[in-house]
């Protein structure tokens, strides 16, 4: 089903959606040429031009969220007093407005891990509750910037994966196409903002691709031990973790307790990143990933080898956020190309060696 919504009606649509749901939408950070996703409020202008610096993942995986409350503190002077552990999953109906195809696709990637009823071990009540209460309205991209490479991973700038409704920019408005029943119900419920139309979708953006990533999953192990390569790649990296925090598919988290009074507290989980030194540091002081080279190697392997092995999907949607946001200009596309070339070289050398000894 497709309909048209005029620019003027966008704010009114958001108002109506906000009557029954939390609405998240991009807001421009004034003067920065970038935007962030935020809880939308009446009167706030949405920015449908700039891609957000940080992805929309905190709609389903908040930066910090409560796992449960407890009412017992260490050193409680009343032995035998009951511990109470109260789970804290609350998930109001939520609409994510103005996600890009790379954001929506990332949700389906995370679903495999956090909301997978078929799996025995992976199931996350907080994620499940939020995800199932979420409606995604995606904005197809008609322009791409220098860091976009979503076409490397399938459907590209108007991919439907993860979206309930897609908006294609037109002159003066948007062509709205329902992808799921939820998307259709928005078109049905908000009829006064949508008009019947037989307009054609506009010309979509062309994004750069990283060619020949196909064999990477099998090839990365060949250069795992090549620390010279990883050292060269990460020479400038300062382990700031932005590449992970901005990324729509990075999901690593930490768990910690916070007290709010003598006998009360909460257990929280927060975003973490394998780019940080302490991430794998053990209590003995030993650290299996002591340098940037070790840590970035893990990040790349997790995204392009381990996750594909375990879940059959690449843990990257080509959104380019890690490229735009890295303070030292590390470009994951160049890393992938270099890794590919180095792996091929290494395999050739290994083969050459074999051929030598076979003689």
Instruction: Name the site residues for ligand FAD (rule: CB under 6 A).
Output: 278, 281-283
CA distance 3 to 194: 6
H or E element at residue 23: strand 22-29
CA distance 80 to 334: 60
H or E element at residue 338: helix 332-358
Considering only 283, 355, 356, 357, the residue that binds other proteins (CB under 8 A) is 283
Cβ neighbors of 200 (< 8 A, separation 6 or more) are none
Complex with ligand SF4: residue 126 or 244, whichever CB lies closer: 244
Question: In whole angstroms, how close is the CB of 242 to ligand SF4 at the nearest point?
Answer: 4
- What's the alpha-carbon Rg for the chain, to the nearest Å? 23
- Window contacting other proteins (CB under 8 A); options: 121-129, 172-180, 191-199, 226-234: 121-129
Complex with ligand SF4: residue 165 or 275, whichever CB lies closer: 275
Complex with other proteins: residue 309 or 349, whichever CB lies closer: 309
Q: At what angle do helices 332-358 and 292-301 cross, to 10 degrees?
A: 90
**255 is in the binding site of which of other proteins, ligand SF4, ligand FAD, none (Cβ under 5 to 8 A by kind)?**
other proteins
- List Cα–Cα distances, 8 to 3, 11, 136, 174, 195, in angstroms: 15, 7, 21, 11, 13
Complex with other proteins: residue 257 or 351, whichever CB lies closer: 257
Q: Are 217 and 297 in contact (CB under 8 A)?
A: no
Complex with ligand SF4: residue 168 or 242, whichever CB lies closer: 242
Question: In whole angstroms, how close is the CB of 124 to ligand FAD at the nearest point?
Answer: 21
> For binding to ligand SF4 (CB under 6 A), which residues are involved?
237-243, 246-249, 275, 303, 316-322, 326-328, 330, 332
Complex with ligand SF4: residue 98 or 265, whichever CB lies closer: 98
Place of tokens 């003598």: 262
User: DSSP string covering 76-137, please?
Assistant: -SSTTPPP-EEE------EEEEEE-HHHHHHHHHHHHHHB-TT-SS-B-HHHHHHHHTEEEE
Asked whether position 255 contacts other proteins by CB under 8 A, the answer is yes
Residue nearest to ligand FAD (CB): 283
**Sites of contact with other proteins (CB under 8 A):** 67-68, 70, 72-76, 79-83, 85, 87, 113-114, 120-125, 221, 224-225, 251-257, 259, 265, 267, 269, 272, 274, 279-284, 286, 288-289, 294, 298, 301-302, 305-307, 309-310
């Amino acid at each position: 089903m497709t309909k048209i919504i005029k620019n003027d009606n966008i704010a009114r649509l958001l108002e109506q959606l906000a009557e029954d749901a939390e609405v998240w939408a991009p807001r421009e950070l004034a003067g920065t040429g970038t935007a962030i996703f935020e809880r939308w409020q009446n009167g706030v202008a949405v920015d449908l031009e700039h891609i957000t610096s940080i992805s929309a993942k905190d709609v389903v995986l908040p930066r910090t969220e409560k796992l449960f409350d407890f009412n017992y503190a260490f050193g409680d002077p009343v032995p035998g007093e009951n511990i109470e552990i109260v789970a804290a999953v609350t998930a109001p109906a939520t609409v994510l407005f103005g996600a890009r195809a790379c954001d929506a696709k990332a949700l389906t990637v995370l679903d495999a891990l956090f909301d997978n009823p078929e799996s025995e071990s992976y199931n996350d009540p907080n994620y499940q509750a939020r995800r199932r209460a979420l409606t995604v309205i995606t904005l197809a991209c008609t322009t791409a910037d220098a860091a976009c490479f979503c076409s490397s991973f399938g459907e590209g700038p108007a991919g439907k994966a993860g979206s309930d409704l897609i908006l294609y920019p037109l002159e003066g408005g948007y062509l709205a196409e329902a992808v799921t029943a939820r998307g259709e119900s928005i078109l049905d419920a908000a009829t006064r903002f949508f008009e019947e139309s037989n307009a054609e979708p506009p010309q979509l953006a062309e994004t750069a691709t990283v060619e020949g990533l196909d064999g990477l999953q099998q090839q990365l192990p060949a250069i795992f031990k090549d620390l010279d390569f990883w050292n060269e790649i990460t020479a400038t990296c300062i382990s700031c973790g932005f590449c992970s925090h901005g990324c729509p598919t990075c999901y690593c988290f930490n768990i910690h307790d916070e007290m709010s009074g003598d006998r009360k507290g909460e257990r929280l989980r927060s975003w973490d990143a394998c780019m940080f030194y302490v991430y794998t540091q053990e209590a003995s002081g030993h650290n299996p990933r002591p340098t940037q080279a070790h840590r970035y190697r893990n990040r790349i392997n997790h995204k392009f080898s381990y996750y594909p092995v375990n879940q059959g999907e690449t843990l990257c949607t080509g959104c380019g956020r890690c490229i735009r946001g890295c303070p030292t200009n590390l470009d994951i596309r160049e890393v992938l190309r270099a890794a590919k070339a180095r792996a091929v070289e290494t395999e050739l050398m290994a083969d050459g060696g074999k051929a030598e000894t076979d003689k």
